[in-house]
Amino acid sequence: MSIQFHRRSVLALAAAAIAPAAWSQAASDATLAQIKQRGTLRVGVTQAPPWYSKDPKSGDWASGVGVSLGKAMAADLGVKFEPVEVTWGTAIAALQGNKIDMMSMMDATPERAQAVDFPKTALLYYSLAVLARDDLPVKAWADLDKPTVRIAVPQASSMDKFLTENVTKAQVSRFPGNAEAIAAFQAGRADAVCLFHPPLLAARQKLGAGKIVVPTPAQSQASSVAVRKETDKSFVDWVDKEIGKFYANGQTQKWYEEFLVGFGLDPKASPPVMKEMLGKS
């Protein structure tokens, strides 16, 4: 019996010795601890203005909301900003494979939430918008809901669904993708093209004509920041506080407007990314 007690004591002591080591290992494996130990915040980037933009001359990821956000967050952690090039399709795998620490402008869909974590706070909002002829009066969706108005839209998209259900009187032409819908507008075969507003910014710049409008009532959806799913929630909680801070103090909107100016666009003529500003002139 004393031998059994002795064995139990030895096992208990061994477990006590192993537990702190195991806990320390788990803690060191947490994303926030890794970032501080490594000295860099690895941010997923992909060529997608106004969110990420690479300087073609220097090759640096120099501008865009996601770049500015990443640099500010790295500075707050006292580490360096490390851009890691991915695609929208490979970003989640890059997070799961510990190649990046975060990817901005990822919408928190239920499907994605099974694979990665998202903060509770929205990063920003983008809205269903139209690029319309300069002489077409558009303030509300009702202004477009007329038999004389021709609207181009990508087929079987969320934009198509909205128009089908809410803008029933207009002539809606459906195309395979964004590019074809924009081309129809450019060719004068449509009075407006309906998309979420970020892709319309580049289209407006390229065409040199037309106006981007978020018709009222605004149809907005939130975008977020994807991070690696792990039991230690210190990093996702920190990301939540950071993006909440930048949104609340207007910095997110400021970064967005700074990019628009650098991109050759007038911020006053472009939809905001703050939900509270939508519909305000």
* DSSP code per residue over 158-172: HHHHHHHHH--SSEE
Q: Tell me phi and psi for residue 186, to 5 degrees.
A: -60, -35
* Range of lowest pLDDT (12-16, 104-108, 119-123, 135-139): 12-16
Residue 265 has pLDDT above 60, yes or no: yes
Q: Domain 126-213: what homologous superfamily?
A: Periplasmic binding protein-like II (3.40.190.10)
Confidence tier at 16 by pLDDT (50, 70, 90): very low
Residue 167 or 260, more confident: 167
Do residues 224 and 242 touch, judged by C-beta distance below 8 A? no
Q: Tell me phi and psi for residue 276, to 5 degrees.
A: -70, -20
- Mean of pLDDT over the chain: 87
Residue 112 has pLDDT above 80, yes or no: yes
Sign, Cα dihedral of 161, 166, 169, 171: negative
Fold for the domain defined by 31-125+220-267:
D-Maltodextrin-Binding Protein; domain 2 (3.40.190)
| pLDDT tens-digit readout, 185-232 | 999 999 999 998 878 887 888 898 999 999 999 888 899 999 999 999
pLDDT confidence of residue 216: 93
pLDDT confidence of residue 148: 97
Confidence tier at 264 by pLDDT (50, 70, 90): confident
Residue 79 has pLDDT above 60, yes or no: yes
Residue 237 or 157, more confident: 237
Do residues 94 and 44 touch, judged by C-beta distance below 8 A? yes
pLDDT confidence of residue 243: 98
Q: What is the DSSP letter of 31?
A: H
Confidence tier at 65 by pLDDT (50, 70, 90): very high
Do residues 119 and 239 touch, judged by C-beta distance below 8 A? yes
* Range of lowest pLDDT (4-13, 169-178, 269-278): 4-13
Amino acid sitting at position 31:
T
**Burial of residue 97, with CB atoms counted within 10 A of its CB: 0-12 exposed, 13-18 middle, 19 or more buried:** exposed
* Range of lowest pLDDT (169-173, 176-180, 225-229, 240-244): 176-180
Do residues 222 and 108 touch, judged by C-beta distance below 8 A? yes
Strand partners, 151: 172, 192
Instruction: Give dist(CA 19, CA 135) in Å, integer.
Output: 71
Percent of the chain past pLDDT 90, that is, above it, reads: 61
Q: What count of Cα atoms within 13 Å lies in the side-chain half-sphere of residue 20?
A: 4
Mean pLDDT of the region 165-178: 94
Mean pLDDT of the region 150-166: 90
Q: Could you state, in order of their start, the residue ranges of all structural domains in the chain?
A: 31-125+220-267, 126-213
pLDDT confidence of residue 111: 86
**Predicted TM-score (pTM) above 0.75:** no
The set of residues, in sequence order, having a beta carbon less than 8 Å from that of 200 and lying 6+ positions away, is: 129, 130, 131, 193, 212
Confidence tier at 280 by pLDDT (50, 70, 90): low
Sequence length of the chain is 281
pLDDT confidence of residue 100: 98
pLDDT confidence of residue 17: 44
Give the pair of three-digit tokens for residue 253.
């909107």
Amino acid sitting at position 134:
D
Do residues 193 and 79 touch, judged by C-beta distance below 8 A? no
